[in-house]
Structure 1
């Protein structure tokens, strides 16, 4: 069996007397989607931000393909092959769609000194290929500020892919999107990451999205691990149902898994 792309061991974080994350451990394999879910205040974002370098853990370790990245700043983690999308998507609104993705390629390949006046010529073909893959090639010349929010999310995914990540962190990737757009975006993401062997760690509140696309789920409550396992195992876990899913949540999980099958 190959080494996991991401290994998290015993992460802990407290804010004053409140323990936000309490000795959490998990692994993410190559080409797999791993979701962290739980009720509000469960510690999802805190755990996520320790992996990405936005927060320094009080204890524990984060390894990327065997390399210890615990406590490294986000830019260094990004340089090691960790991409990220954010709950509130942001692009250069005055620039076109293709220019946004070109900028990502320019940054990734360390060509920032080659900016104006040559930037518009750099990596255009590569940018268009990524936009084609995410379904945005036909809007390549539109300013990002004119796009619908669902399309901005696709551009953000294209920007993340331009960095050629081996691990992609996605914080609430479908937040603010209509239900049909949510499923479509995550289906697209799942197809891309599996064909490229990218690992994905994501947080998400939409149970239809989670149970339709995640390979493994980690459920947190008040900073502690409640359950880790396949969608089937998590859906059927009595404690998960009690503290988080409830009746309607179980039904949503069942619908999503039936659609997945």
Structure 2
């Protein structure tokens, strides 16, 4: 059985169909990229899965349990973690405290002055920071970190809930190429080892084609293509609506059988 199954999802805003009969699934340990041009319906679809929007039609099931109608925090408790395009950390708090707060929330605990929350789950919080490569900075405030490091802390916070499914909204937005690759390689290693399914939106095609196990493409609310990186690169409908006419493809030099240089398109 699929970890996440989205079936016949539809939602309209006035006369505009933002999502139009979209269906897909996510398997445990799989990274599924949700891409498309601006206005394709990616954010709407993503926010329906997360419980921020309620569709006019369709079903979203996690491990067979219907999520439609549930509040985002209840979906989170069902095992759906999320990272945000703008990392959701408390800048005045240390890295360790940020992760500890996520652990306190997971355990539904309240603490009084006799037992500060900052004294709880320290070992587990440190272990999570170590897994994302940030343990050495645990006592520093998030406000002094480089942007790429804040994204790593955001990932540790999301993993604190021990999610079955991780939703990542533009995880590499605003990052340099090396930071993008480092973060996605880290994410793939961590989620694959735990069997966590990942649904992510992303505008950087080098990230999508390098790290996604499968890709689904939306255009004007409809799912127009799905498959692995090569399938999506070579799909004529994707080239037409996402990459334009295909003239934006960079030519790759190669040698013909007679030794002459020729070019072939690549994304």
TM interval, shorter chain, is over 0.9
Query: Retained in 1: the 8 A contact 2:249–2:266?
Result: no
Using the TM superposition, give the Cα deviation of residue 251 of structure 1 relative to its aligned residue in structure 2, in angstroms.
6.9
- Structure-2 change in CA distance of 1:31 and 1:250 (3 Å): farther
| Aligned residues between the structures | 253
Q: Could you tell me how far apart the structure 2 residues matched to 1:255 and 1:114 are?
A: 59
Alignment of 1:44-123 (within 5 A): 44-113=42-111, 117-123=115-121
Using the TM superposition, give the Cα deviation of residue 71 of structure 1 relative to its aligned residue in structure 2, in angstroms.
2.3
Aligned partner of 2:23 among 25, 33, 37 = 25
Query: Retained in 1: the 8 A contact 2:4–2:61?
Result: yes
Alignment of 1:1-261 (within 5 A): 3-113=1-111, 117-245=115-243, 246-248=246-248
Q: Could you tell me how far apart the structure 1 residues matched to 2:84 and 2:136 are?
A: 24
Query: Retained in 2: the 8 A contact 1:50–1:71?
Result: no
- Structure-2 change in CA distance of 1:124 and 1:224 (3 Å): same
What corresponds to 1:259 in structure 2?
none
Query: Retained in 2: the 8 A contact 1:86–1:171?
Result: yes
Query: Retained in 2: the 8 A contact 1:241–1:250?
Result: no
Deviation readout 1:160-207 (Å, 9 max, x if unpaired):
001100000000011111111011101100000000100000000000
Query: Retained in 1: the 8 A contact 2:9–2:59?
Result: yes
Q: What CA RMSD, in Å, does the superposition of the two structures yield over aligned residues?
A: 1.7
- Whichever structure has more helix as a proportion of its residues is 1
Q: Could you tell me how far apart the structure 2 residues matched to 1:59 and 1:208 are?
A: 34
* Higher CA-based Rg: 2
